[in-house]
Each structure stands twice: as C-alpha cells, then as structure tokens.
C-alpha cells in the first residue's frame, strides 16, 4: 500500500513539473520608464533615457577628473525641442518634467586635460540622451522653468484702467452704467514684449490676456471675461447700482504669457499673474422727482 502511495506522489510531482515546463518561465514584472520614479516624467516629449543616478555619476566623474591626466567627458545641454512648433515641440519640453527643469538633450565629447577634443568620433559632440536633470551636470547653462516663471512675475505689467459712461464718472441709481477696459502707456500690456537677460540668454516674455474682472465698488464684480466692454449702447459690461455712494471701481487683469530664448520658438509659460487695476471713483447719485408749480 505504501508503495502505491509513493508512486502516486511521484506521478503528481511529474505532472506538476510538466505543467510548469509547458507554461514557460514566469512573466517578468513590468519596469517603469527610466527616470519616471526620480522626479521626472516622459510627458509629451521624448522618453527619458538618462536617470538622475546616471547624471549624478557623470557629475562625480567629471569633478574627479579635473586636474588629472587622461581624457575626460565634457558636457553641454540644449532644450529638447522636438519640432519648430511651440506647443508640440519646445512647449512639450517645458511641461515634460515635474522638477521645474526643461527636458534637455545632453551632448558630450571626450577632451584632453587642457580641454582639447580628442581625435576621432569621441572628440565630436554627440547626443548622450534625454534627461530632466540638466542642472546637475557641469557645463549646463539652461534656465529652469522656475526661473522663467519668476522672471514672468517680475514683469512691469500694465495696470488696466476704466472708461465709464455716463461720462464724468457720475451715474444714477437704477441707471445702467457701462464700463470699458483701457490700457495706459506705462507697463507691458497684452501682446507687447519685455526683453531681459537670464543666465546669458536673451529672454523675451510676451504677456497675453487671460481674463478681466470688473470690480463695481459696491461689493459686486463680474465673472472673469475676455470682453473689453464698451460704451453705450453696445457695451456688454454694464452694472446697475441700487444704492447711492462713492464706488471704487477698477478692472483687474489676469495675464498669461509665453517666452522664448535667443529668438527661438515661443513657449507657453505655465503660470498666470493677476494685476489689480487703477481705481476710478464713480459717484452714484439718487435722482428725486420734484413737482414744480
């Protein structure tokens, strides 16, 4: 009886082994894209091919080779613009990384201790790969998205003004009052260009009108709109006051923007700035009917 049981166990074991053999090796666990777990993203740009650890190791090796005999790698970076179109090319590079850096192509070549390129293919600039960490490499001169956003916030934006009808900034209770946004000469307004320098690059920022909010001064304001309003009777920004008083009216402007470096393609700035408009005091009076004999 014991022999029969042993034979049964042997047969079961052989069947299990045969099943595993026919099924083949177990499927490997899927691995995340390189760089996807260290603060970067593939975004809409090219796939990340150089991880943070590889960048750190390259930086360590570059630092250790300074002043020593023998050739060493030299690096430089450029924004990973995949096409000439701002939104599908360079715009993707601006949005592809989650750490505030441009998605960048890393170029490298081998040089002698004095900086002279070595002979042959290794002495020519060639693309090493794509990364979200160009700031960790020696030789990187790319601005970061954070620096672009800060420069955008520091633009001297135009403060919107108001033209009001009835004229003279005096209106009546229960009478529709018309508002129109105006742009004074001072400051940088929508579609104008502010030029400055950032890390040796010529940086141009062009504000764009995202929305306007009309503040009526009695505790009410409009919803954000792109309408500039207009005079009576066609203007679509109007308000009817219910109580007399002195109203501190204004129009607040929310600016978006785009930028470019060294005259390259325009790229969208992932930020907005709201600028409070110049107040205009509106007197609201109550008209009273009088009967004269």
**What values do phi and psi take at 279, rounded to 5?**
-65, 145
pLDDT exceeds 60 at position 150:
yes
With 0-12 / 13-18 / 19 or more C-beta atoms within 10 angstroms meaning exposed / middle / buried, residue 282 is: buried
> Is 71 within 8 Å of 79 (Cβ atoms)?
no
For residue range 158-210, list pLDDT tens digits in order: 999 999 999 999 999 999 999 999 999 899 999 999 999 998 888 999 999 99
- Among 1-15, 53-67, 197-211, 255-269, name the one with the lowest average pLDDT: 1-15
For residue range 252-263, list pLDDT tens digits in order: 999 999 998 888
What's the mean pLDDT in 14-34?
Answer: 33
| Coil/strand/helix, residue 224 | coil
Cα distances (angstroms) measured from residue 227 to each of 51, 135, 160, 196: 47, 42, 13, 30
Most confident of 26-35, 96-105, 211-220: 211-220
Q: What is the DSSP string of 269-286?
A: -S--EEEPPPPEEEEEE-
pLDDT-derived band at 4, boundaries 50, 70, 90: very low
Cα distances (angstroms) measured from residue 11 to each of 4, 7, 18, 20, 30: 11, 6, 11, 15, 35
pTM of the model: 0.68
E strand residue ranges, 57-160:
72-79, 104-111, 126-131
What is the Cα 82 distance to its own chain's centre? Answer: 17
């Amino acid at each position: 009886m014991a022999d029969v049981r042993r034979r049964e166990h042997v047969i079961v074991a052989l069947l299990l082994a045969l099943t595993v053999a026919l099924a083949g090796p177990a499927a490997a666990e899927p691995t995340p894209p390189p760089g996807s777990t260290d603060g970067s993203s593939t975004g809409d740009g090219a796939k990340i091919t150089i991880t943070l650890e590889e960048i750190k190791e390259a930086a360590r090796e570059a630092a250790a080779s300074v002043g020593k005999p023998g050739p060493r790698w030299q690096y430089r970076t450029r924004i990973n613009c995949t096409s000439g179109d701002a939104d599908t090319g360079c715009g993707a590079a601006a949005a592809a990384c989650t750490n505030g850096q441009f998605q960048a192509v890393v170029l490298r070549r081998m040089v002698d201790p004095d900086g002279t390129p070595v002979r042959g293919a290794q002495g020519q600039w060639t693309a090493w790969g794509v990364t979200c960490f160009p700031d960790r490499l020696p030789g990187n001169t790319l601005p970061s998205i954070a620096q672009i956003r800060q420069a955008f916030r520091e633009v001297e934006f135009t403060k919107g003004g108001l033209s009001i009808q009835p004229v003279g900034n005096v209106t009546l209770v229960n009478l529709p009052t018309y508002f129109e946004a105006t742009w004074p000469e001072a400051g940088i307004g929508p579609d104008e260009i502010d030029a400055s320098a950032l890390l040796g690059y010529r940086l141009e920022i062009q504000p764009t009108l995202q929305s306007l909010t009309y503040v009526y001064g009695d505790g009410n304001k409009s919803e954000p709109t792109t309408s500039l309003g207009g005079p009576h009777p066609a203007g679509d920004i109007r308000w009817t006051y219910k109580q007399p008083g002195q109203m501190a009216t204004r129009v607040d402007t929310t600016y978006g923007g785009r930028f470019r470096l060294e005259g390259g393609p325009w790229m969208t700035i992932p930020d907005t700035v709201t600028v409070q408009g110049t107040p205009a005091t509106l007197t609201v009076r109550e008209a009273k009917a009088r009967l004269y004999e």
